Amino acid sequence: MLDKIGIAKRIAQEVRNGWYINLGIGIPTLVANYIPDNINVVLQSENGLLGIGPFPSEQNIDADLINAGKQTVTMMPGSALFNSADSFGMIRGGHVDLTILGAMEVSENGDIANWKIPGKMVKGMGGAMDLVASAENIIVAMQHKSRDGQSKLLKNCSLPITGIKCVKKIITDMAVLDVLPEGGFKLLERAPGVTVDEIKAATEGKLVVEGDIPEMVIG
């Protein structure tokens, strides 16, 4: 099983040179730390920044420079600032190459639920619905099972959905899976020490297993 850092490291392997990438809050934010030095990407923050840099030192904190998680950040050389309408123009217009975000549930046809739990206080969807409705390439970072052991990879989402038929790839603490265009989770890799049977048992939706499933290589 992978921890959060392991999931972030495995996702970082999916990143290609020259991409503009939007990272969601949580595990996706950690991915930035594990992108290899020879891969040049630009990170987009939907509150209006292209070129997110590392967190600032105590001396360099600027209250006017935050990411979408409201954390203080810095800018890389060559950064650009813009307003929220332009920012979502980049997102809906298909100019962002990869979106990485967390999820509470994903269904076998690629629906994602990550914004609302009935009976709990609704905080709002923020930019998640815009991101999932538009991105060509969406990777979901999540735990395979909920804290009480229920599968989060389902036939149908039980929670209110954020977007339909949009998730392409899922990287969990147990596995790497593609969402097939015709429906179903195709198992690509196992986390170190996790068996195919364990993944089957943890996946409620249709799981497609073809041939030998290799173990992930995490650097």
8 A C-beta contact, residue 144 and residue 85: no
To another protein, the closest distance from the beta carbon of 50 in angstroms equals 11
* CB proximity list for 98: less than 8 A, separation 6 or greater: 14, 15, 19, 20, 21, 22, 135, 137, 138, 139
Four-residue CA torsion sign, 128, 112, 71, 137: negative
Q: Is 51 in the site for another protein (CB under 8 A)?
A: no
Catalytic residue among 14, 46, 136, 182: 46
198 is catalytic: no
Question: Which residue among 26, 160, 183, 184 contacts another protein (CB under 8 A)?
Answer: 160
Question: Which residue among 37, 38, 64, 212 contacts another protein (CB under 8 A)?
Answer: 64
To another protein, the closest distance from the beta carbon of 59 in angstroms equals 9
Considering beta carbons, is residue 122 or 201 the nearer one to another protein? 122
Question: Which residue among 63, 78, 210, 211 contacts another protein (CB under 8 A)?
Answer: 63
- What number of other Cβ atoms are within 10 A of residue 126's Cβ? 15
**Residue 142 and residue 134: Cα distance in Å, rounded?**
20
Q: Is 104 in the site for another protein (CB under 8 A)?
A: no
8 A C-beta contact, residue 66 and residue 72: yes
Task: Report which residue type is found at 188.
Answer: L
Q: Is 38 in the site for another protein (CB under 8 A)?
A: no
Considering beta carbons, is residue 130 or 198 the nearer one to another protein? 130
Considering beta carbons, is residue 161 or 170 the nearer one to another protein? 161
Q: Which of 50, 52, 45 is nearest to 73 (CA)?
A: 52
Q: Is 44 in the site for another protein (CB under 8 A)?
A: no
Q: Is 151 in the site for another protein (CB under 8 A)?
A: no
DSSP SS3 for 128: helix
* CB proximity list for 17: less than 8 A, separation 6 or greater: 38, 39, 40, 41
Q: Is 61 in the site for another protein (CB under 8 A)?
A: yes
**Residues of the shown chain interacting with another protein in the complex, contacts defined by CB under 8 A:** 45-49, 54-58, 61-67, 69-73, 81-85, 87-88, 91-92, 111, 121-130, 133-134, 160-164
The catalytic site residues sit at: 46
